[in-house]
Structure 1
Amino acid sequence: MTQAPQTASGDSLDALATTGPRGRGKPSLALCVLLCAAANATAAVLLLLFGRPLLPQQETLRLWSTGFGAASNSQHLTDPYSFMHAVFGAGLCLFLDRLKPDWPVRSKLAVAVLGSVLWEIVENTPMVIDLFNASNQPGAYSGDTILNALSDTGFVMLGFLAARFVGWRGTLLLALLVEVALSATIGDGFVLGILAVFGLF
């Protein structure tokens, strides 16, 4: 059974991810870091254009917050949802490992960062903010601060790197623990969140 040929764009992407723009060796670490930094800077600018503040507007910035009022929810540096972003990053790591096993880790990490940045932009659009508030999720959500959004992407990176060390079994175990812990403590998580959005919880 012959394998279907890849498209030219797919071949170009694979070549860029595995050998870099110069076609010699894997992409440099500096290039991947620059790409991640540029993606986060772009997200910050777009969120600013969306009217999102850099820091909490009604409270003093905290390293950790469990508040679910509009003044606290996703406004501070870290919160319970940070763990969900870490699980998301770990899941992206496993997915990319299976989809693109020949890509170097730095290229996969850059893709994971781009995926996180894209979600942060979509999450802070008025339509998605209204969708979250219309569902039966805990508290009130007015969008992320720019600092919180950047922190979320940082946790995606941490989750990605953690998955590299613990493997798929360890990642699955940690994901289940996070899901159970968040469901029990804040009444939210991946499963409950999806059910709430679709009006099933």
Structure 2
Amino acid sequence: MTMLVPAESRTPRAAIWLLACAAVLILQVVVEYWAGRTPICTCGYIKLFEPVANGPGNSQHLADWYTPSHIIHGFLFYGLAHLTLRRKPLAAKLLLALVIESGWEILENSPIIIDRYRTATISLDYYGDSILNSAMDTIFMALGFFFAWRAPVAVTVAIAIFFEIFTGWLIRDNLTLNVLMLVYPLEAVKAWQGGL
């Protein structure tokens, strides 16, 4: 296990950074609970993976077809942190990534973004993530972050492209299309995503 954690992260100072990282995830969960998000799927059980992208179980379980998007978030946030916090320890870079991801998860599960998904995209039945799914999205981002830290850039980029193409082909949605449809919805894309 210590091979995965750099020597710089095994110091007392790094422990403070790591505690701050844990606090961000806990704060995300508390804020979402306070905002009325459901802890787990209202179906009453937990799946490892929800295979139906447009079904009621999407964004309610441990993982789904949007999990690759969150792993790509980790790739991107590692790149951002590497460029902006070059002299800081890895745990400080992770903290930046967690603050961004947790902030997005809280915003994504707010009425304004949920309504935007429902009006601008094909996600007509989207009512937000369960707290479990949202927390797992953040954890998958962290896994992507650590992967990008250890892997060659070319491998990280190739995996991101593969994830985008594969999920785009399989569910007609991916990180790129998700951002596009939230920021600048196109009827042609919406029609294609709806299978029309």
- TM-score, with structure 2 as normaliser: 0.84
User: Which sections of structure 1, spanning at least 5 residues, go unmatched?
Assistant: 1-18, 20-25
1:42 CA drift (Å) = 1.2
What CA distance in whole angstroms lies between the structure 2 residues aligned with 1:141 and 1:166?
A: 34
Q: Percent identity?
A: 29
AA of the residue aligned to 1:78: A
2:100 maps to 115
- Contact 2:120–2:181 (CA<8 Å) still a contact in 1? yes
AA of the residue aligned to 1:41: I
2:185 maps to 199
* In the alignment, structure 1 residue 56 sits paired with structure 2 residue 56: no
Q: How many residues align?
A: 178
The match for 2:162 among 156, 177, 183 is 177
What CA distance in whole angstroms lies between the structure 1 residues aligned with 2:179 and 2:135?
A: 23
Partner SS, residue 153 of structure 1: helix
Q: Give the RMSD, CA atoms, in angstroms.
A: 2.0
What CA distance in whole angstroms lies between the structure 2 residues aligned with 1:111 and 1:38?
A: 13
What CA distance in whole angstroms lies between the structure 2 residues aligned with 1:175 and 1:137?
A: 23
- Contact 1:90–1:163 (CA<8 Å) still a contact in 2? yes
Matches within 5 A, 1:76-115: 76-115=61-100
- Contact 1:58–1:71 (CA<8 Å) still a contact in 2? no
For residues 115-168 of structure 1, give each alpha carbon's deviation from its aligned partner in whole angstroms, at most 9, with x where no partner exists. 111111101100000001112335621111111111011111100010012132
Q: Considering only CA atoms, is the larger Rg found in Structure 1 or Structure 2?
A: 1
* In the alignment, structure 1 residue 140 sits paired with structure 2 residue 125: yes
- Contact 2:53–2:171 (CA<8 Å) still a contact in 1? no
What CA distance in whole angstroms lies between the structure 2 residues aligned with 1:162 and 1:155?
A: 10
Partner SS, residue 28 of structure 1: helix
What CA distance in whole angstroms lies between the structure 2 residues aligned with 1:139 and 1:85?
A: 21
- Contact 2:74–2:97 (CA<8 Å) still a contact in 1? yes
Partner SS, residue 96 of structure 1: helix
- TM-score, with structure 1 as normaliser: 0.82
What CA distance in whole angstroms lies between the structure 1 residues aligned with 2:116 and 2:123?
A: 13
What CA distance in whole angstroms lies between the structure 1 residues aligned with 2:49 and 2:61?
A: 7
What CA distance in whole angstroms lies between the structure 1 residues aligned with 2:52 and 2:124?
A: 8
* In the alignment, structure 1 residue 72 sits paired with structure 2 residue 57: yes
